Structure formats: structure tokens, C-alpha cells
Amino acid sequence: MIFLVGICLAVLLAACGGEEESTSGADKIAFQSDRDGNAEIYVMKPDGSGQTNLTDSPGADAGPAWSP
């Protein structure tokens, strides 16, 4: 469910964001996915590209949040 929310948010942000490329690194979406059978934390660009697994551990990782 959280993965689907992340994808919907990514599509919405991509539709509103235009074509500009950010160089700040702040334009990332953090989400949880169990696509490999285990909950992991990922980040991606607002257009859905650049999905990167941040945790890749045997335990369940959940609840991604940005620190201020």
C-alpha cells in the first residue's frame, strides 16, 4: 500500500514539476516496498526513476521519514 502511495505521489509531482532537473538532492521520495518478499526502504526521483534500495537487510525495514 505504501509503495502505491509513493508511486501516486511520484506521478503527481512529475506532472506538476515540469522538465527541470534538481541538483539539490532534496527532490526524492522515500517509500517502503516488499517487492523482494521483505520490507525494505527505497528512494526515487519524483518521476519514478532512480529507485535505490537503502536498507537491503534481512529484517523488515519500514516507516521511512525525512529528518529536518
Higher pLDDT, 12 or 25: 25
pTM of the predicted structure, to 2 decimals:
0.60
Handedness of CA 62, 4, 42, 36 (dihedral sign): positive
Task: For 2-24, write each residue's pLDDT tens digit.
Answer: 554 455 444 444 444 444 444 44
CB atoms within 10 A of CB 41: 19
* Bridge partners of residue 31, in order along the sequence: 42
User: Domain coordinates of the chain in residue numbers?
Assistant: 2-53
